Structure 1
């Protein structure tokens, strides 16, 4: 039976109390009864409330500069270091704005200028967490630790979804009809680029379960409604490498174990170390290519095994594509 709102029950009690000859309640008893009603109706938190608070505790701002604002319930707020973001908060960066977000001490989301992004992180149960990064437009770099098998990261754009774990990659969403690059795009005029520096990413269209896979030092450009195919995956280009180098700049912070996470990320990724070093983009590109000791199929096989062998068909993916259940995420 659905519970009645607390105010309705209290009003009914007041009505009974004021009726002559119907019921007589002493003042002290009346106050006690009202308190009991309020506790019973309002003491238990709804699932939505718990999920929102879980998000707020796990998504924090660790750095920002320039023109940055947070839209919460249609109200504009100024960002603050350590500020917790709710699941429906929208981050907007202007011409020179930058923002960095720490997710559950295991991932970083770096938002570039002229971007519109929402980040939500929830515990599905006691063991599994889901993080979704929604990009309306702009550029976002996601850096996720490799070791955690129970954390699901998805980057969602107007046309594509990228499922990741243990990955450093850039997602760019551009409206081809917007010269100022500050308007969300529709499916027809949206250009989405996924550039992987390290790790593996599975990408599928919002309206199709068919996936393509990207390994380290590769990229994928998908304009409008173009159908995905593995042939679209190309080596990481110089422009993408330049964007990654510009966006991946780490800052000192004492928030939520940030320093430990950054040190761990650098120590476990030769690609991040190469990006940190000085030199031209050509030299960096050459260094990254030489450091890539594994083929694309090797990377995907490893990720599939680490995640859950039961979810993948045991096939030689160098010869035949892996097929996932359409309802599952990579």
Structure 2
């Protein structure tokens, strides 16, 4: 049960990653020195079926595009997906190269290059499959990061292959050395040339010598990676220049629209104030009319009530007069006469 929970935990946090870090400087140096220009990777070769994954998740088949052209530029936020028996080569202007193997999906999170200074900050997500990395020795503060489940590998100028299969990751070193640790950085092992490190779902890091199959895979995957051409470099420079111009134009348009919006808002505010004043005036007139009508109705009701009261009073007086004129016989006097009649002897 504990092992199952541990496996689920690691799958849930698969973003805590196989990080391939190519760096000769400390973290403080990386933070202090940031490149000024942002660059993508140039697709230098395509084999088989390859799809471009856009930032919104939509996909486009790019199998037929020409390498080293503006259509072949992979910008941060985009990704690539290769089919079976397919591959694609990526190259940066400072000589860093990637080969994306078959049945692989990657995403280029960021790519910052200082051309001519051998300074790079590249972040690549490996969601599934394999990636071969070939890099010259970089300057202080530079790094290459390849993220994948379960392991962390720190690299110093080397050629290596990183691949992920389910919850297991492995790093095979062709040249140089790699420091590999589990995803929680609790355990670390140095992997030298002709060695590999395997990290399982439990975080165990195991270093082994490369066998013949591993060596053949390294040789096959890393064989003749296509480098970026001068035309590819020019395409990148042109695209970046156009991007900066577009960026300035966009900012200028935003400022103009902002000023226009402020003027519209101000004009609308003044118009709204006039409309509000007019509505207040109309409401007052309506209120006065309602009050006047209510007073008139009240006065009319009072007059009618007074007239009705006078009519009732007049009718009462008339009835009293009629009663007086038709006065009845005195009942007491009549009773007395009847009593005397009875007492008389018969």
Number of the residue aligned with 1:197? 174
Which of these residues, 100, 104, 109, is aligned with residue 111 of structure 1? 100
Whether 1:75 aligns to 2:66 is: no
Number of the residue aligned with 2:89? 100
Residues 205 and 54 from structure 1, CA distance in 2 versus in 1: closer, same or farther, beyond 3 angstroms?
farther
Q: Given that residues 105 and 126 in structure 2 are in contact (C-alpha distance below 8 angstroms), is that contact kept between their aligned partners in structure 1?
A: yes
Whether 1:142 aligns to 2:125 is: no
The Cα of 1:254 is off from its aligned counterpart by: 5.6
Number of the residue aligned with 2:210? 236
Residue by residue over 1:264-314, the C-alpha shift from the partner in whole angstroms, topping out at 9 and shown as x without a partner, is xxxxxxxxxxxxxxxxxxxxxxxxxxxxxxxxxxxxxxxxxxxxxxxxxxx
Residues 129 and 254 from structure 1, CA distance in 2 versus in 1: closer, same or farther, beyond 3 angstroms?
closer
Q: Given that residues 150 and 203 in structure 2 are in contact (C-alpha distance below 8 angstroms), is that contact kept between their aligned partners in structure 1?
A: no
The Cα of 1:220 is off from its aligned counterpart by: 1.0
**Equivalent residues in 2 for 1:106-255 (5 A)?**
106-123=95-112, 129-175=120-166, 190-228=167-205, 232-250=206-224, 255=229
The Cα of 1:52 is off from its aligned counterpart by: 12
Number of the residue aligned with 2:236? none
Determine helix, strand or coil for the equivalent of 1:96: coil
Determine helix, strand or coil for the equivalent of 1:104: coil
The Cα of 1:145 is off from its aligned counterpart by: 0.4
Q: Given that residues 59 and 120 in structure 1 are in contact (C-alpha distance below 8 angstroms), is that contact kept between their aligned partners in structure 2?
A: no
Determine helix, strand or coil for the equivalent of 1:242: helix
Cα separation, 1, equivalents of 2:105 and 2:131: 9
The Cα of 1:253 is off from its aligned counterpart by: 5.7
Task: Indicate the larger mover: 249-258 or 151-160.
Answer: 249-258
| Unaligned residue ranges in structure 1 (runs of 5+) | 1-50, 176-189, 260-330
The Cα of 1:78 is off from its aligned counterpart by: 3.2
Residues 53 and 90 from structure 1, CA distance in 2 versus in 1: closer, same or farther, beyond 3 angstroms?
farther
Q: Given that residues 91 and 228 in structure 2 are in contact (C-alpha distance below 8 angstroms), is that contact kept between their aligned partners in structure 1?
A: no
* Larger relative contact order (CA 8 Å, sep ≥ 6): 2
The Cα of 1:167 is off from its aligned counterpart by: 0.7
Residue by residue over 1:191-226, the C-alpha shift from the partner in whole angstroms, topping out at 9 and shown as x without a partner, is 211100101112222222542211111101222123
Q: Given that residues 89 and 226 in structure 2 are in contact (C-alpha distance below 8 angstroms), is that contact kept between their aligned partners in structure 1?
A: no
Residues 89 and 218 from structure 1, CA distance in 2 versus in 1: closer, same or farther, beyond 3 angstroms?
same
Residues 213 and 245 from structure 1, CA distance in 2 versus in 1: closer, same or farther, beyond 3 angstroms?
same
| Unaligned residue ranges in structure 2 (runs of 5+) | 1-33, 234-346
Larger radius of gyration: 2
Q: Given that residues 154 and 161 in structure 1 are in contact (C-alpha distance below 8 angstroms), is that contact kept between their aligned partners in structure 2?
A: no
Query: Which structure shows the bigger proportion of residues in helix conformation?
Result: 2
Q: How many residues align?
A: 191
Q: CA RMSD in A?
A: 3.0
Cα separation, 2, equivalents of 1:204 and 1:192: 11
Q: Given that residues 153 and 163 in structure 1 are in contact (C-alpha distance below 8 angstroms), is that contact kept between their aligned partners in structure 2?
A: no
